[in-house]
Structure 1
Amino acid sequence: MTLPVADKYNIEFGDVTRAKFDWLKSKEYAGWVVFVDTNTRRDCLPLIEKFLDHPRLLIIECAPGELNKNLGTCQELWSQMFDGGVGRRWCAICLGGGVLEDMSGFVASTFKRGIDFLQIPTTLLAQVDSSVGGKLGVDFYELKNSLGVFNDPIAVWIDHRFLRTLPAREIRSGFAEVIKHALIADAGQWGRIQKIIDLTVVDWSELIPASVNIKREVVLEDPFERGVRKSLNFGHTIGHAIESYFLETEQRLFHGEAIAAGMIMEAWISYQLATLTVSDYQLIESYFLKLYGHQVILESSFDQLFALMANDKKNDDHRINFTLLAEPGRALINQFAGRPVIESAIRHYNSLAVATE
């Protein structure tokens, strides 16, 4: 199955085969540079290594995880590219999850003013979210993705075999974005998703393309996030702040775990300030708690969380910008909430801890 992203590039689903690399060879790049982290080098590179037969091949490895998604790591990658003789007519192959794809795509897009790159996402999060739409970047000043560019790959190859290399917690993290796509744009899909409780028996060959297509249609309508693409930020205003806060603690949350908590809180704000009904809110709340459990947000963290939210790149005129839900399947962009409402949402979320005990 292939989904075109306008006339720019294709998102292709299915096994990564020699035919795909023959297509890459036909573009006659001077060399290929492959970005991996220690996990994807061990678990994922062997699935495609036999196809990497370009005479000028450079494999660059970095440490995994959000803590390493910064300019310091970028500098190391750029240095290795220079030392390895990478030129303007090379192509980068980004083999990894969301962190690696965001960062290596950014590195490729800025190296000598930009070289082509393609993405082979290896996590569920990357396959349904970060590999679609051309948003690339790194964290800076303790803010998620605060430095970056919009730039499209030449192709995205989504092979769900890579998901077999992942621990259950990584699958669950990525699934949060699948839920989000349904909540903001497809009420029917939200109804079907609520029947999924055991993530070990999901037919990803059906669910991933459906989720990707939701994001693809949003991106095609608004490639530079000036309008409807902001709907993809549901759960992320509070969720990103939570993720950044816990990144500096011993209780690090995965992206999807933080966003799941953020979606509960922002759904509650949607019930308070928009038209989301209490029954729809309760369905959202109960489903997320069932899959993701609960993480108490200490009141001592509130000032830091608000500082992070205040610096969110989506804000307008110093107001904290949200995407809220009018109802499942319909999002409201450019909604604003003050600190009292946001604090009440966090306190309400904290009160739900008893539901998971």
Structure 2
Amino acid sequence: MTSISTQDYTIHFNETGYKALNEHLKAVRYSKVFILADENTNMDCVPFVLGNIDTEIEYDILEIEPGEEQKNLDICLGLWETLSEYGADRKSVIINIGGGVITDLGGFVASTYKRGIPFINIPTSLLAMVDASIGGKTGVDLGHLKNQIGVINTPELIVVDTSFLATLPQLEMRSGLAEMLKHGLIFDEDYWNRLQDLSASTLADLDGLIYESIIIKKNIVAQDPTEQGVRKTLNYGHTIGHAIESYFLEHSEYKRLLHGEAIAIGMIMETYLSIKYLDFSAEEGKKIKSVFKSIYGHVTILDSDQAPIIELLKYDKKNEHGNINFVLLEAIGKPKVNCIVDNNSIIEAFEFYN
């Protein structure tokens, strides 16, 4: 796959990625390399990456426990203290090897340590490859509220090695697929149609679909790096989806939802709102719900859960002047930002999902 250049960095793939990484390390001559990974990626992915790095620069591995629960300021504090203790200076670099938690967290830690040191992303999950590691969003959660603290800051480069997908549980693959489906709904109806049934797809087919998703996100971000307009369309399904994800994180009696599982629910519900507010095709809306239900099944959301989930919407990052702003669809591939809906309609959207 051909490398993809953005204004600030380049996304490289597979073997080409390691060649580009080695050339970059040789050219920049960092004082020290710090590799951030969780327990899983440190075991499954870091040894392979190290086997493909050709450098004499000293490195240390920083390992954290896996899971969204680690994406918080306490973990950041521990990492900042470790970097300081291990002599990281402004010529050091952090290489983030992992899923979206690692790339979000590691990018934020790097961007704020000594007012900013460079970082490189090597995403190992489908979600991180097509979404989290691209576009420069870094950050952590505030309690159970998703991504409330962070900065937009781009990596030096990204290496996408799709062989790491073989290490992923099926649930994690499904989680990443939700973001790819979203790219189809907001940008390309043909892409959406091709993603609906992957049962006959080969690994080469999947590589091609991943590549298309990265191109879609890259093109949207290039138009609006700081999310003032068109980049907001990437949040389709996320206004409600993040609130549901946060609610399930906060309530231990419920099984934790992966990001993609929550966003799938959000996309079904925001499709209903699109039907009600933007005259999106009701027939198409039923098809969209059917596609997501066939992939992700059904999650029980009780009537008693709905009001506290709606309350969490006020923390969404797209909100302005006290308004909760939704991204809705006029048609597949034609999103509209800054849509305001009432709470009764959101309750109706829960009913549509159920």
TM-score bracket, normalised by the shorter chain, equals: over 0.9
The 2-side partners of 1:260 and 1:208 are apart by: 18
The 2-side partners of 1:18 and 1:304 are apart by: 49
Q: 1:158 aligns with which of 157, 160, 167?
A: 160
The 2-side partners of 1:55 and 1:2 are apart by: 25
RMSD: 1.5
**Contact 1:187–1:328 (8 Å) recurs in 2:** yes
Q: How many residues align?
A: 349
Equivalent residue, structure 1, for 2:244: 242
The two structures have a TM-score, normalised by structure 2, of 0.95
Equivalent residue, structure 1, for 2:37: 36
Pairing 1:287–2:288 present: no
Q: Which amino acid aligns with 1:66?
A: E
Q: 1:252 aligns with which of 256, 264, 269?
A: 256
SS of 1:203 mapped into structure 2: helix
- Cα separation, partners in 2 of 1:169 and 1:236, compared to 1, 3 Å: same
Alignment of 1:303-322 (within 5 A): 303-322=307-326
The 1-side partners of 2:20 and 2:320 are apart by: 47
The 2-side partners of 1:165 and 1:53 are apart by: 26
1:18 CA drift (Å): 4.8
1:142-198 CA distance string (max 9 Å, x none)? 210000000000101111001011000000000000000010001111121123247
- Cα separation, partners in 2 of 1:295 and 1:199, compared to 1, 3 Å: farther
Deviating beyond 4 angstroms after TM superposition, the runs of 4 or more aligned structure 1 residues are: 197-202
The 2-side partners of 1:234 and 1:270 are apart by: 11
Q: Which amino acid aligns with 2:13?
A: F
The 2-side partners of 1:35 and 1:198 are apart by: 36
Alignment of 1:67-216 (within 5 A): 67-197=69-199, 203-216=205-218
The 2-side partners of 1:105 and 1:120 are apart by: 11
Aligned identity (percent) is 44
Alignment of 1:27-66 (within 5 A): 27-50=28-51, 51=53, 53-66=55-68
1:95-153 CA distance string (max 9 Å, x none)? 01001110010000000000011100000000000111000000004210000000000
Pairing 1:262–2:258 present: no
**Contact 1:160–1:204 (8 Å) recurs in 2:** no
1:300 CA drift (Å): 1.4
Q: Structure 1: state its 5+ residue gaps.
A: 351-357
1:291 CA drift (Å): 0.4
Equivalent residue, structure 2, for 1:273: 277
Equivalent residue, structure 2, for 1:347: 351
**Contact 2:144–2:249 (8 Å) recurs in 1:** no
- Cα separation, partners in 2 of 1:299 and 1:201, compared to 1, 3 Å: farther
**Contact 1:13–1:209 (8 Å) recurs in 2:** no
**Contact 2:37–2:63 (8 Å) recurs in 1:** yes
Q: Which amino acid aligns with 2:194?
A: R
Return 302-311 or 190-199, whichever deviates more.
190-199
Equivalent residue, structure 1, for 2:22: 21
**Contact 2:99–2:124 (8 Å) recurs in 1:** yes
The 1-side partners of 2:286 and 2:203 are apart by: 25
Equivalent residue, structure 1, for 2:234: 232
Q: Structure 2: state its 5+ residue gaps.
A: none
The 2-side partners of 1:83 and 1:53 are apart by: 23
1:52 CA drift (Å): 6.1
Equivalent residue, structure 2, for 1:9: 9
**Contact 2:30–2:57 (8 Å) recurs in 1:** no
The 2-side partners of 1:102 and 1:244 are apart by: 17
Q: Which amino acid aligns with 1:27?
A: V
The two structures have a TM-score, normalised by structure 1, of 0.94
**Contact 1:36–1:61 (8 Å) recurs in 2:** yes
The 1-side partners of 2:276 and 2:86 are apart by: 56
Q: Which amino acid aligns with 2:125?
A: T
